[in-house]
């Protein structure tokens, strides 16, 4: 099936017991200050976590649609992080392949939850967080550094790398609409 093909051909996973942590790419605000690059600083934190946690998980990254991964790859190299770059795979499929997904505030977080994959927002301190219904009801936690991220990963691992999709029913978040929007991407 398509998920196994992604695991074996694209990610080249040989050991299916190793968890996959996938980071969805984002971008810095082009109108921001030149010295202020919170997204790339967040990528750096992910790279550091990846390096510290190896071999506890396999890290993957996909660039934001319409963008390349050159800047992120440079950060991964500079930090000595082993991260597999994934291109041309739809975000819902990546959410289903991963055990945990990560982003710097993205709608992909809700997409991941809809398919039962836990999601974490990773953002350096003092960066305005992106408020959305999933974080407001406590479905997605925000970590501001490598240590917090690794602690959150451990909690998610102890929870069996799953998000109970039925939790949407108790919040009023329309799951069918979210699923239809996600699958339409």
Q: What is the predicted pLDDT for the residue at 95?
A: 92
Residue 31 pLDDT exceeds 70? no
**pLDDT tens, position by position, 47-106:** 999 999 888 889 999 999 888 999 999 999 999 999 999 988 888 889 999 999 999 888
CA angle (98 as vertex; 52, 151 as ends), nearest 5: 40
Q: What is the predicted pLDDT for the residue at 22?
A: 95
CA distances from residue 147 to 39, 80, 85, 168 in whole angstroms, order as listed: 18, 17, 23, 29
Q: What is the predicted pLDDT for the residue at 130?
A: 62
CB-CB contact of 18 with 55 (8 Å): yes
CB-CB contact of 85 with 61 (8 Å): yes
CB-CB contact of 92 with 111 (8 Å): yes
Give the span between the Cα atoms of 100 and 116, in whole angstroms. Answer: 10
Sorting pLDDT into bands at 50, 70 and 90, what band is 35? very low
Q: What is the mean pLDDT of residues 18-33?
A: 79
CB-CB contact of 89 with 9 (8 Å): no
CA angle (4 as vertex; 94, 21 as ends), nearest 5: 35
Residue 177 pLDDT exceeds 80? no
* Phi, psi at 87, each rounded to 5°: -125, 155
Q: What is the predicted pLDDT for the residue at 10?
A: 74
Residue 118 pLDDT exceeds 80? yes
Q: What is the predicted pLDDT for the residue at 66?
A: 85
Give the span between the Cα atoms of 179 and 68, in whole angstroms. Answer: 27
Give the span between the Cα atoms of 152 and 91, in whole angstroms. Answer: 22
Q: What is the predicted pLDDT for the residue at 149?
A: 94
Residue 179 pLDDT exceeds 60? no
**pLDDT tens, position by position, 119-175:** 999 987 766 566 677 888 889 998 989 999 999 999 999 999 999 998 888 887 777
Give the span between the Cα atoms of 72 and 26, in whole angstroms. Answer: 10
Q: What is the predicted pLDDT for the residue at 30?
A: 57
Q: What is the predicted pLDDT for the residue at 105?
A: 81
- Whole-prediction pTM: 0.87
């Amino acid at each position: 099936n398509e998920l196994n093909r992604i695991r074996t051909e694209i990610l080249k996973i040989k050991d299916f017991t190793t968890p996959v942590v996938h980071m969805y790419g984002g971008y810095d605000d082009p109108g921001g200050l030149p010295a202020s690059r919170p997204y790339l600083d967040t990528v750096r934190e992910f790279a550091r976590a990846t390096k510290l946690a190896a071999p506890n998980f396999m890290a993957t990254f996909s660039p934001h649609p319409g963008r390349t991964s050159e800047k992120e790859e440079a950060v991964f190299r500079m930090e000595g992080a082993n991260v597999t770059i994934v291109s041309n795979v739809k975000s819902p499929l990546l959410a289903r392949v991963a055990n945990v997904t990560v982003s710097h505030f993205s709608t992909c977080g809700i997409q991941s939850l809809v398919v039962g994959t836990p999601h974490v927002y990773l953002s350096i301190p003092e960066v305005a967080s992106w408020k959305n219904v999933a974080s407001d009801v406590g479905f997605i936690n925000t970590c501001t550094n490598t240590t917090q991220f690794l602690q959150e990963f451990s909690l998610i691992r102890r929870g069996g790398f799953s998000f109970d999709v039925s939790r949407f029913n108790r919040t009023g978040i329309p799951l069918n609409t979210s699923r239809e929007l996600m699958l339409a991407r």
